[in-house]
């Protein structure tokens, strides 16, 4: 076994690998960029090496610096994590040539599976189901149209070197095939430096289901069941679960056996994932093989009890798998939510900055000890900490939240409560969006496919699109929280006689629309010992608080049933968050509510004459000058954040009055870039 390994990665996955290595008694070396000097993975590792400036192309992607760090520290092996150099066959080969063990598959296996056209041909040879299509290089859009007609519409046009949704188009007719081929090829050339494109049949109502495989250097190979990854937004996974509620045992076994056959065909020696697209008739077809550890590997760990990072390390050290296919368990159900630094209310734009609050729910599972005790629990895999920075240079993932339960409904219930108990402040996150997805009837019933989010949220995610099963409960929480505050204030000594704080039973809860329209609901509250009984909107809510008044995350009981919610006061407004729903309520006496209703509404200022930054990021281009006339839809500026370029365009015809920011500036949210006449 190795004595020291280097982790050629950062953030959550670097911390994840360190946990397992520490349990195995292996010393660890972290590498870091200048932006990650204070990062959590640097603090957790036994040693650390600075490898360059913040941009990943100057640090985490520089092979020479990684290899030099191994040689300098005496690391015997490298774990690449995922992303960066994890599926780079050149890096794997160079590491091996230096006498350093690559904790992953051999470079030949990476190369064989890295090209979509070549991997599909190899899959066909291994008798793995493949989607009908044309796998050779297509030379022209005219040829693309002919091929699409032969296959039968709809078809999918894909870049051979593509990934993450780039270089992908769906065509339903000749025109879309012609235009889609040209766009796909241009995008592939710009993104990957490889403009090869192929065409295959588009599966109707597809599901994305993947099989985890594990092989060693002694000829053993097994599959560790499947993961359901169909909940995606723009081809990026949002929620993953294991097992899949859609598969029957026969389909599950057939997919597993084909995944193993493909892994054996390339002498696969490590953890890897074979991805399939599955039709509504349970027909399944090979998509691609990811020759690395997947982001969503924790759900597999939870249902099998196997630590996949440990297995990768043991295989790389030459050990045999210690179990056979028949001995691999499948216990309970696991769900993973990716918690990202993004603002769902602003079209999921990146959100960076300082984590003023980072309070995950209480955890009972650990990454290095994945099998839950007692049939379920909560796990958080993260590379951040409260007070730390979310930098603009890397991806948007803050952490992964994993829930394990006895069955799917139990896992969903645990996850919803964990999301309610997860407090993040200082930056925006997608927690409310995740809560809304988990409560959606289609998700709960398992009736979804990869188009679920686009179908259910065609105009994006808004506060109004969140449906709470009992919205009056949020009003009751605001009233009960207000009562607690009033009681504490009434107990303060030295109050002026005749002006003491009084604790009333009758209240009015006031909500306001963005246009200023008020909605007032009467409420009454009675307290008996630690029980607050609130009557509001014709319902009665017996609420008991089990956490101190100072806590942002409130733990309590509703009629004896436990719950978590987030309640905080800003001036006269109570902000209440529960199950993805947010309200901003004013809890007033009936007389105060009557007087307030007579106050005029002050509309927000007109900002239509300004182009403001919708996110924090780097201004990489300003395309206009003062005095220039612009047309609606014309490119104005480009902001880069978290490896994504966001193009800002004119909302209407206008004339530029002034440019308030310069190329290279670091922008804050709502910072003015351009002012119009």
Pairwise CA distance, residues 634 & 565, whole Å = 44
H or E stretch including 665?
Answer: none
3-state secondary structure of 266: coil
What six digits make up the tokens of 498? 């005749």
C-alpha distances (whole Å) from 219 to each of 264, 321, 347, 579 are 8, 10, 48, 48
Backbone angles phi, psi at 409, to 5 degrees: -65, -40
Backbone angles phi, psi at 668, to 5 degrees: -100, 165
Pairwise CA distance, residues 310 & 585, whole Å = 50
Pairwise CA distance, residues 549 & 589, whole Å = 22
- Mention every residue, 6+ apart, whose C-beta is less than 8 A from residue 226: 209, 210, 211, 212, 242, 243, 244, 247, 252, 255, 256
Q: Contact at 8 Å (CB) between 338 and 238?
A: yes
What six digits make up the tokens of 574? 């109570």
Pairwise CA distance, residues 342 & 340, whole Å = 6
DSSP single-letter state for residue 136: S
In sequence order, what are the beta bridge partners of 588? 508
Instruction: Please report the DSSP string for 173-218 in residue order.
Output: SHHHHHHHHHHHHHHHHHHHS---EEEEEPPSS-EEEEEEEEE-TT
Instruction: Please report the DSSP string for 512-552 in residue order.
Output: E-TT--EEEEEEEEEEETTEEEEEETTEEEEEEE-S-TT-S
Give the distance between the most distant pair of CA atoms in the chain: 90
In sequence order, what are the beta bridge partners of 518? 512
What six digits make up the tokens of 656? 């530029």
What six digits make up the tokens of 242? 């294991």
Pairwise CA distance, residues 98 & 69, whole Å = 12
Helices (H), 359-513: 408-420, 431-439, 441-445, 452-456, 472-490
Pairwise CA distance, residues 248 & 253, whole Å = 9
Cα angle at 379 between 373 and 385, to 5 degrees?
Answer: 145
Residue 210 annotated among the catalytic residues of the structure: no
Pairwise CA distance, residues 296 & 242, whole Å = 10
Pairwise CA distance, residues 400 & 381, whole Å = 5
3-state secondary structure of 301: helix
Report CA torsion sign: 83, 89, 91, 97.
positive
Q: Contact at 8 Å (CB) between 191 and 218?
A: no
Pairwise CA distance, residues 95 & 88, whole Å = 11
3-state secondary structure of 677: coil
Pairwise CA distance, residues 433 & 296, whole Å = 19
Annotated catalytic residue within 228, 241, 288, 301 = 288
Catalytically active residues are: 288
């Amino acid at each position: 076994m190795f004595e020291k390994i280097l982790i050629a990665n950062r953030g959550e996955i670097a911390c994840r690998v360190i946990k397992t290595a520490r349990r195995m008694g292996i010393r660890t070396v972290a590498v870091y960029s200048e932006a990650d000097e204070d990062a959590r993975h640097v603090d957790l590792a036994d040693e650390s090496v600075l490898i360059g400036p913040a941009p990943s192309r100057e640090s985490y992607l520089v092979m020479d610096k990684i290899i030099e760090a191994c040689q300098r520290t005496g690391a015997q092996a490298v774990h690449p994590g995922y992303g960066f150099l994890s599926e780079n066959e050149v890096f794997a080969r160079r590491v091996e040539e230096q006498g350093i063990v690559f904790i992953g598959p051999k470079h030949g296996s990476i190369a064989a599976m890295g090209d979509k056209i070549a991997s599909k041909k190899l899959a066909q040879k291994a008798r793995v189901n493949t989607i009908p299509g044309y796998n050779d290089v297509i030379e022209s859009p005219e040829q693309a149209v002919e091929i699409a007609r032969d296959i039968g519409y709809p078809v999918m046009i894909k870049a051979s070197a593509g990934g993450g949704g780039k270089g992908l188009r769906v065509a339903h007719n000749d025109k879309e095939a012609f235009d889609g081929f040209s766009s796909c090829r241009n995008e592939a050339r710009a993104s990957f430096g490889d403009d090869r494109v192929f065409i295959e049949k588009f599966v109707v109502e597809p599901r994305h289901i993947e099989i985890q495989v594990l092989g060693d250097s002694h000829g053993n190979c097994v599959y560790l069941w499947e993961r359901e990854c169909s909940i995606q937004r723009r081809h990026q996974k949002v929620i993953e679960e294991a097992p899949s509620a859609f598969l029957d045992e026969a389909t599950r076994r057939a997919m597993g056996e084909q995944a193993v056959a493909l892994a054996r065909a390339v002498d696969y020696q490590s953890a890897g994932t074979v991805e399939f697209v599955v039709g509504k008739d349970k027909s399944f077809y090979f998509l691609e093989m990811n020759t690395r550890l997947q982001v969503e590997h924790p759900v597999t760990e939870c249902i099998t009890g196997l630590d996949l990072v440990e297995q990768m390390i043991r295989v790389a050290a030459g050990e045999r798998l210690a179990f056979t296919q028949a001995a691999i368990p499948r216990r309970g159900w696991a769900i993973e939510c990716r918690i990202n630094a993004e603002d769902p209310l602003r079209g999921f734009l990146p959100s960076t900055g300082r984590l003023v609050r980072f309070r995950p729910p209480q955890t009972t599972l650990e990454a290095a000890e994945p099998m839950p005790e007692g049939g379920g629990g909560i796990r958080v895999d993260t590379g951040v900490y409260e007070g730390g920075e979310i930098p603009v240079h890397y991806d948007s993932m803050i952490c992964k939240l994993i829930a394990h339960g006895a069955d799917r409904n139990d896992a969903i219930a645990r996850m919803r409560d964990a999301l309610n108990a997860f407090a993040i402040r200082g930056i925006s996150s997608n927690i409310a969006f995740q809560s809304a997805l988990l409560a959606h009837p289609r998700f709960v019933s398992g009736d979804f496919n990869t188009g679920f989010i686009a179908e259910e949220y065609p105009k994006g995610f808004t506060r109004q699109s969140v449906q709470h099963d009992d919205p009056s409960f949020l009003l009751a929480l605001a009233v009960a929280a207000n009562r607690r505050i009033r009681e504490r204030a009434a107990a303060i000594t030295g109050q002026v006689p005749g002006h003491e704080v009084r604790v009333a039973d009758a209240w009015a809860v006031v909500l306001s629309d963005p246009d200023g329209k008020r909605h007032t609901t009467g409420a009454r509250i009675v307290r008996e010992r630690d029980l607050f009984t609130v009557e509001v909107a014709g319902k009665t809510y017996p609420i008991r608080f089990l956490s101190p008044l100072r806590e942002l995350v409130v733990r309590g009981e509703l009629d004896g049933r436990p719950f978590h919610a987030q309640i905080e006061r800003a001036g006269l407004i109570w902000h209440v968050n529960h199950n993805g729903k947010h309200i901003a309520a004013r809890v007033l006496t009936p007389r105060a509510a009557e007087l307030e209703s007579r106050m005029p509404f002050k509309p927000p200022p007109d900002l239509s004459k300004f182009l403001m930054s919708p996110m924090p990021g780097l201004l990489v281009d300003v395309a206009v000058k003062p005095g220039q006339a612009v047309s609606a839809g014309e490119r104005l500026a480009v902001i880069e954040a978290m490896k994504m370029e966001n193009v800002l365009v004119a909302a209407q015809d206008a004339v530029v009055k002034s440019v308030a920011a310069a190329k290279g500036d670091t922008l804050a949210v709502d910072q003015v870039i351009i002012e119009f006449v």
